[in-house]
């Protein structure tokens, strides 16, 4: 008697198949029958019936056909069960490669690349400090680190130093000094008196938010001079503030990153030698 997979009784095995392979083949055949794809089984039954009438060879042929179909179905089931799981590919970080493997768009990569190329250079940073078009030379900038007088007598040097004092919240010192220098240029007594009164209210009065630091001796001299203001009313105060900037603010200015960038000095080097620096 020949057995098909779907009609195989329990305990009946096809030749050359173990128990696990037999169970997998039976499951595959049952699934095919439920889906309406049972033509191969009917054909196997017909072949088996015909072979029974003809002789024993027909039964062998039907069994061989059924066995090949079962082995093929078993192989497909095993291949599907042993197939590796497909994991979704993770997105790679943006890179500057000009291909389509990046997760970012071409527009984003181009924007980042253009931003890096258009970043301001050291020369641009130096030019931005001088808006009047009178850009000093490198030798002139480095001379500011050798002499405080050269720094204060140069318009660009005063501008850079004033910006530094503003960052230290002591801009009133250089503003007072500049106001005294402007007062010395006046010839009209009326203008001198008016400017002297404004300087006193802005930088000498204890009620002013921009009061400069003066000792009692110099302050007393200024108060006496204000009775009859002249172009020399604030000379003592101007000298004291100039000395304060020279000894206190100027050394920090030379060691600031701003001046080192302008003078193109290394970070680990001192702007000017200790002998040239004020003590």
**Residue 271: inside a domain, yes or no?**
no
Looking at the structure, tell me whether residues 65 and 101 fall in a common domain: no
Looking at the structure, tell me whether residues 138 and 241 fall in a common domain: yes
Closest CA to 262 of 154, 178, 168: 154
pLDDT at position 133, please? 57
**Residue 13: inside a domain, yes or no?**
no
Looking at the structure, tell me whether residues 201 and 235 fall in a common domain: yes
Looking at the structure, tell me whether residues 110 and 142 fall in a common domain: no
Q: Each residue of 112-139: pLDDT tens digit?
A: 655 555 544 444 444 455 545 578 899 9
CA angle, 218 then 221 then 222, to 5°: 90
* Domain CATH code at residue 235: 1.10.167.10
Please answer whether residues 56 and 110 qualify as being in contact, where contact means their C-beta atoms are separated by less than 8 angstroms.
Answer: no
Q: Summarize the confidence of residues 198-220 as an average pLDDT.
A: 96
**Residue 124: inside a domain, yes or no?**
no
Please answer whether residues 226 and 183 qualify as being in contact, where contact means their C-beta atoms are separated by less than 8 angstroms.
Answer: no
Looking at the structure, tell me whether residues 186 and 222 fall in a common domain: yes
**Residue 6: inside a domain, yes or no?**
no
pLDDT at position 219, please? 96
Helix (H) or strand (E) holding 138: helix 138-143
Looking at the structure, tell me whether residues 190 and 213 fall in a common domain: yes
Looking at the structure, tell me whether residues 113 and 135 fall in a common domain: no
Looking at the structure, tell me whether residues 151 and 63 fall in a common domain: no
Q: Each residue of 37-79: pLDDT tens digit?
A: 444 444 443 334 443 333 444 444 444 444 555 545 555 544 5
Looking at the structure, tell me whether residues 178 and 248 fall in a common domain: yes
Model confidence band, residue 211 (pLDDT cutoffs 50, 70, 90): very high
Model confidence band, residue 181 (pLDDT cutoffs 50, 70, 90): very high
Looking at the structure, tell me whether residues 48 and 72 fall in a common domain: yes
Looking at the structure, tell me whether residues 241 and 159 fall in a common domain: yes
What is the pTM for the complete model shown?
0.52
**Residue 77: inside a domain, yes or no?**
yes
Cα radius of gyration rounded to whole Å, the chain: 49
Please answer whether residues 203 and 212 qualify as being in contact, where contact means their C-beta atoms are separated by less than 8 angstroms.
Answer: yes
**Residue 4: inside a domain, yes or no?**
no
Given the structure tokens 């600031």, which residue do they identify? 256
Q: How far apart are CA 278 and CA 252, in angstroms?
A: 11
Q: How far apart are CA 82 and CA 100, in angstroms?
A: 33
Domain ranges, residue 109: 92-119
Q: How far apart are CA 64 and CA 83, in angstroms?
A: 28
Q: Each residue of 251-279: pLDDT tens digit?
A: 999 999 999 999 987 655 444 444 344 43
Given the structure tokens 């900037």, which residue do they identify? 245
**Residue 156: inside a domain, yes or no?**
yes
pLDDT > 90: what percent of the chain? 46
Looking at the structure, tell me whether residues 34 and 156 fall in a common domain: no
To 10 degrees, the CA torsion angle through 11, 16, 17, 18?
80
Q: How far apart are CA 245 and CA 174, in angstroms?
A: 8
Number of domains in the chain: 3
Q: Each residue of 224-251: pLDDT tens digit?
A: 999 999 999 999 999 999 999 999 999 9
**Residue 113: inside a domain, yes or no?**
yes
Q: Summarize the confidence of residues 81-103 as an average pLDDT.
A: 50
End-to-end CA distance of the chain: 119
């Amino acid at each position: 008697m020949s057995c098909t997979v779907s009609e195989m009784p329990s305990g009946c095995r096809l030749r050359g198949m173990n128990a696990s392979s037999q169970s997998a083949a039976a499951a595959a055949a049952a699934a095919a029958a439920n889906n309406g794809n049972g033509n191969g089984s009917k054909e196997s039954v017909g072949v088996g019936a015909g072979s029974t009438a003809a002789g024993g060879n027909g039964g062998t042929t039907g069994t061989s056909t059924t066995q090949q179909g079962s082995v093929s179905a078993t192989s497909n089931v095993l291949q599907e069960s042993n197939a590796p799981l497909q994991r979704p590919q993770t997105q790679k970080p943006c890179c500057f490669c000009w291909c389509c493997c990046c997760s970012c768009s071409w527009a984003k990569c181009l924007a980042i690349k253009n931003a890096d190329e258009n970043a301001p250079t050291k020369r641009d940073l130096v030019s931005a400090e001088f808006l009047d078009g009178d850009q000093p030379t490198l030798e002139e900038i480095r001379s500011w680190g050798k002499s405080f007088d050269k720094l204060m007598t140069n318009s660009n040097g005063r501008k850079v130093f004033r910006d530094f004092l503003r960052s230290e919240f002591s801009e009133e010192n250089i503003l007072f000094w500049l106001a005294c220098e402007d007062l010395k240029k006046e010839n009209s007594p009326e203008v001198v008196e008016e400017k002297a009164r404004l300087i006193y209210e802005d930088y000498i009065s204890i009620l002013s938010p921009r009061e400069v630091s003066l000792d009692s001796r110099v302050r007393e001299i200024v108060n006496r001079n204000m009775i009859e203001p002249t172009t020399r009313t604030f000379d003592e105060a101007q000298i004291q503030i100039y000395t304060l900037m020279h000894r206190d603010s100027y050394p920090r200015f030379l060691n600031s990153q701003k001046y080192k960038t302008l003078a193109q000095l290394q970070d680990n080097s001192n702007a000017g030698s200790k002998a040239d620096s004020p003590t």
